[in-house]
Amino acid sequence: MFFELLTRFGSLLERALAFEELRDKGPPDGWKGDYEGDRELYDRMTALKPADRLSLDEILMYIQQHRGSTADMGNRRL
């Protein structure tokens, strides 16, 4: 879901192909997301070892720092 939120797709087919590749290979090498740090956040959220994954508090802190307050999130349109 995080990858989808941070990636702009030109069509449904492009989206489907991107998710197939994401499932098979992970995100594209050049993918960074819309903000600096998005790729690192994605990598840490999907780490194989649970101990390497971010806590909910760390994720919320990232969102607040890079995307505004969590109170604004319900009012945003992508």
Residue ranges per structural domain of the chain:
2-70
Q: What is the pLDDT of residues 14-59, one digit of tens each?
A: 989 988 888 888 777 777 666 677 888 888 888 889 999 999 899 8
Own/partner contacts of 54-58, CB < 8 Å, gap of 24 or more, are none
Q: Contact at 8 Å (CB) between 47 and 58?
A: no
pTM: 0.53
